[in-house]
Structure 1
């Protein structure tokens, strides 16, 4: 079974003024990676509640984050050949991805689609319970982009097996 490539984004908060701070990918082969993003000077929005969830401080982003253009190039390198990645929070993730590419002065070489379009009704019915079981079983730390992308992929795989 070929797994879909999943993308997850952690952000400075939600809504107006928020921006991406970490992008994670779970590749078709099950490997995953994530990169912190260095905020631009004009990206000032910071929600302390969001920081409580993902545990990434703005100071850490400034220290360890990669420049916006480098992250955009990396995404294009990773995804241009397959041309597609999926997200469980398409509305937010697509907005943040567009912001990233806009500020990098580049166009994405792939499309981001809603994970929902891949799921059968049976998979949807099993989704929440299966995801929570995997979190406990594998000790996954939620709200970090790489681990969340991999969790989505594993949940997809397990619900497909259960539905089959």
Structure 2
């Protein structure tokens, strides 16, 4: 089975002024990768509640994050041929992706679509319970971009196999 490419973004918060801090991918072959993003000087919003979820500190971003241009280039290299990636939080992820590419001075060579467009009604009805079962079964750590993208991919595959 060819799996859809999934993208997930962790951010500094959830409201105005938030920005992407990590982007992760689950590729069509099931392999995963992620990159921390070095915040720009003008990106100052920081929500401690968001940090509690993803566990990424501002100090770690400063130390390990890559410049926005490098992350945007990497995403184009990774996703340009696929042409499309899917997100379960399209509204947030598309906003943060647009912000990243805007500040990198680049355009994405791929499209981000809502994962929902791929799902049947049966898959939607099984989604939540299947996700929770997989988190427990596989011991997946939530709220890290690559792990969340892979989890979405696994839930997609299992709900598809269940007659979706």
* TM-score w.r.t. length of structure 2: 0.99
Query: Partners of 1:65 and 1:121 in 2: how far apart?
Result: 39
Runs of 5+ consecutive residues of structure 1 not aligned to the other structure: none
Deviation at 1:112, TM superposition (A): 0.1
Alpha-carbon shift at residue 163 of structure 1 (Å): 1.7
Aligned with 2:143: secondary structure? coil
Which secondary structure does the structure 2 equivalent of 1:72 belong to? helix
- Matched with 2:90 is 90
Correspondence for 2:109:
109
Aligned to 1:46: 46
Which residue of 1 is the match for residue 6 of structure 2?
6
CA-CA distance at 1:104 after TM superposition:
0.1
Q: Give 1:143 deviation, angstroms.
A: 0.1
Query: What count of residue pairs does the alignment treat as equivalent?
Result: 164
Output one character per residue of 1:82-107: Cα deviation in whole Å (capped at 9) or x when no partner: 11000000000000000000000000
1:27-49 deviations in Å (ceiling 9; x for gaps): 00000001100000000000000
* Aligned residue in 1 for 2:134: 134
For the aligned residues, what is the CA RMSD?
A: 0.5
